[in-house]
Amino acid sequence: MYGFEAMTFNIHGGYLEAIVRGHRSGLLSAADYNNLCQCETLDDIKMHLSATEYGPYLQNEPSPLHTTTIVEKCTQKLVDEYKHMLCQATEPLSTFLEYITYGHMIDNVVLIVTGTLHERDVQELLEKCHPLGMFDSIATLAVAQNMRELYRLVLVDTPLAPYFSECITSEDLDDINIEIMRNTLYKAYLEDFYKFCQKIGGATAEIMSDLLAFEADRRAVNITINSIGTELTRDDRRKLYSSFGLLYPYGHEELVVCEDIDQVRGVMEKYPPYQAIFAKISYGESQMLDKAFYEEEVKRLCLAFEQQFHYAVFFAYMRLREQEIRNLMWISECVAQNQKSRVHDSVVFIF
């Protein structure tokens, strides 16, 4: 199919690609961020956002505004756009779009399970869930006591079910268990998504494999850094790495034995694309790593828009919008807590 997709792509995908590109041009620009960073109060932010595409979502909010409201409304906009696209999509684009939400689903499952473990109210937890990762029986997760029950009761109906095959144990749920479960699920999800994209083929496969490989590598690095100093064995650690990406397989071998962050750095610097990321960070520091990764990701996502006739634009758009919402959240938090000097710490400019 490669090379000929341009001929037939527009029959089903043309309308939605136009839509998504239109949405993409509605992303906040650097000038918008500059203005937002100068805001004194949350009302100023609201006023500025009302001139953007977020306007209709924020205009009916009464004045003492909270950061959560802003984030909630902005997410609402993303969800509405996503639902619109999903309604219009045909196969295989609709499946592709659904794949995008599985990540949120995993996060939601983990959030609820951890929450119930610490005896939080289910309703309260549900409000914190990302609306893109909702499924019907999500609230029932609270009933489950161990992985097996979790799977048998609830997740068997969800698209996440196949990913569970690796982590069914009868152990009771605890924090480490859950974290391992999250990573195993995520690994299975990424591999599945990767396989799906390869199946679609063409430019979608090409671009998505690049984006997903980056995602997998980032997760591998994060897992390594987070598991340093915990009782996770090397074999267990290896099991959590996805079986594709730039680091697979030799990089993984080296990451498995890392004992501190500088060793991770040593491994990563062998790979030219990641060398630039680590070059920005001073030795022994891991705080700024997230931001560096985000920046690199945004750069790659923006590049996805350079090609036409492929599905990766949908993935890229959703990710960029999520990044934008994270930025807005950070800015509003800084404004609300009078920490304006720290505004630039975590904002990743999209353009």
Q: Where on the chain is the footprint of another protein (CB under 8 A)?
A: 35, 38-40, 43-44, 47-48, 50-51, 59-63, 122, 136-137, 139-143, 152-154, 157
Which is nearer to another protein, 59 or 90 (by Cβ)? 59
In this structure, the number of other CB atoms found within 10 A of the CB of residue 44 comes to 14
Cβ-proximal residues to 235 (8 Å cutoff; 6+ apart), any chain: none
Q: Minimum distance between the CB of residue 158 and another protein, rounded to whole angstroms?
A: 11
Q: Which residues pair with 146 in a beta bridge?
A: 172
Which is nearer to another protein, 114 or 222 (by Cβ)? 114
Q: Minimum distance between the CB of residue 63 and another protein, rounded to whole angstroms?
A: 6
Diameter of the chain measured on Cα atoms: 55
Which is nearer to another protein, 49 or 181 (by Cβ)? 49
Q: Minimum distance between the CB of residue 197 and another protein, rounded to whole angstroms?
A: 31
Q: Minimum distance between the CB of residue 40 and another protein, rounded to whole angstroms?
A: 8
Helices (H), 129-201: 147-153, 175-200
Q: Is 324:33 a contact under the CB 8 Å cutoff? A: no
Q: Rounded to an integer, what distance in angstroms lies between the CA atom of residue 275 and that of residue 52? A: 37
Q: Minimum distance between the CB of residue 62 and another protein, rounded to whole angstroms?
A: 7
Q: Rounded to an integer, what distance in angstroms lies between the CA atom of residue 216 and that of residue 223? A: 10
Helix, strand, coil shares of the chain, percent, nearest 5, are 70, 0, 25
Q: Minimum distance between the CB of residue 53 and another protein, rounded to whole angstroms?
A: 16
Q: Is 76:131 a contact under the CB 8 Å cutoff? A: yes
Pick the closest to residue 61 from 75, 47, 51 (CA basis).
47
Which is nearer to another protein, 112 or 247 (by Cβ)? 112
